[in-house]
Amino acid sequence: MIEVKDAYESLVKNGVDMFTGVPDSLLKNICAYITDTAPKGKHIIAANEGNAVGIAAGHYLATGKAALVYMQNSGLGNTVNPLLSLADEKVYSIPMLLMIGWRGEPGVHDEPQHVKQGEVTLSLLDTMQIPYVVLEDVSQIGKMAALAMERKAPAALVIRKGTFGSYKLKNVSMNDNPLSREEALKLVVDHLHANDVIVSTTGKLSRELFEYREARNEGHGHDFLTVGSMGHSSSIALGIAIEKPGRRVFCFDGDGAFIMHTGALGIVASMKPKNFFHILFNNGAHESVGGQPTIGYQLDATAIAKASGYSHVLRASSADEIVEALQQLEHLDGPVLVELRVKINSREDLGRPTTTPVENKDAFMKELSI
């Protein structure tokens, strides 16, 4: 096990003093230490992993130094284009050090959305011709940082579960909103029509939705749980809304996912789906992977949606405000964005869906066929 302080100091000692990426549960301890320790302006939590590669490229162009780009292995897909068409030695030859959480490592139990990613992670890096080590010793950090600079191209550290010692984030983002995401979610579900369907985003929100349906002794056919594919729930919901104009389609989104692919808002708006209702649960944090902050409260989600062409936008935080907003939806045509500002809080005993993704898909498609 590597202590996060030692890992950070090794990075800095070897010329890596800029950090950017998207938080991952396997990296939450090192990410928390970076958040607490890196000087102002030297740590940027990016909108998505490709964004982080771009930031790292700009840093190198300005300083001649490699940056660290951290991500879950699911985020590799967002980096393929900039890594191969920007950073690769056959294009601009830009060094950077990738730190990749290896979810779904073969032989290690993990959630179903990580299985395929885990199987192909190393072979994908091989195909991209990015040299890597599965990190076991702190000395490997300096060697790979030196290799990236020597090759003037990306090199990677692959991180297994349990690689880093524990560290608790000190600079925790807090807000004074009265309701948790789960409490707000229950209010929304309680006001849905029997014919409404939900597409819920990756992370704890979908887990909370699943458990609330269980508590109500309901099936799960009305809900598509987007357990992977972060940032794409609104696009999935759009595809459904277009084909099922007689049903209200709700996208339950999170601020991290919303920010990751904000351009989807304009596509939704351009199609003008009257049955599309976008519910954004905004707590200003990547809570599902360690509580790292997002820019959820630094941007105006309602203004962005309105400027993108949404027909109506609403914001609420208290229970009364949320109920009032939901009542307004009865009389509004979509696309509508309702931003629910919630506090950072979730149950420690929060479970996971007991159905497989394929079972969820089949039940959802059966419901849509009615």
Instruction: Write the DSSP string, 219-245.
Output: -STTEEE--SSTT-HHHHHHHHHHH-T
| Alpha-helix residue ranges (DSSP H) falling in the chain | 4-13, 28-37, 49-63, 76-82, 115-127, 139-151, 181-190, 204-215, 233-243, 255-260, 264-271, 301-308, 319-329, 357-368
Which of these ranges, 80-89, 168-177, 229-238, 350-359, has the smallest mean pLDDT?
168-177
User: Which DSSP letter does residue 162 get?
Assistant: T
Helix, strand, coil percent values for the chain (each to nearest 5): 45, 20, 40
- CA-CA distance, 71 to 76, in Å (whole number)? 8
- Amino acid 41: pLDDT: 94
| Mean pLDDT, range 257-266, rounded to an integer | 95
| Mean pLDDT, range 20-37, rounded to an integer | 94
- Amino acid 342: pLDDT: 96
Mind listing the pLDDT tens digit for each residue in 181-195?
A: 999 999 999 999 999
| Residue 283 structure tokens | 């707590």
CB atoms within 10 A of CB 351: 11
| Mean pLDDT, range 198-202, rounded to an integer | 95
Alpha carbon 16 to chain centroid, angstroms: 25
Mind listing the pLDDT tens digit for each residue in 312-359?
A: 999 999 999 999 999 999 999 999 999 999 999 888 888 899 999 999
Residue pair 90/60 in contact (Cβ under 8 Å)? The answer is no
Q: How confident is the model at residue 276 (pLDDT cuts 50, 70, 90)?
A: very high
- Amino acid 120: pLDDT: 96
Report CA Rg, the chain. 21
Percent of the chain predicted with pLDDT > 70 = 100
Which of these ranges, 83-97, 164-178, 226-240, 332-346, has the smallest mean pLDDT?
164-178
| Residue 222 structure tokens | 């009305």
Alpha carbon 333 to chain centroid, angstroms: 29
96, β-bridge pairs: 154
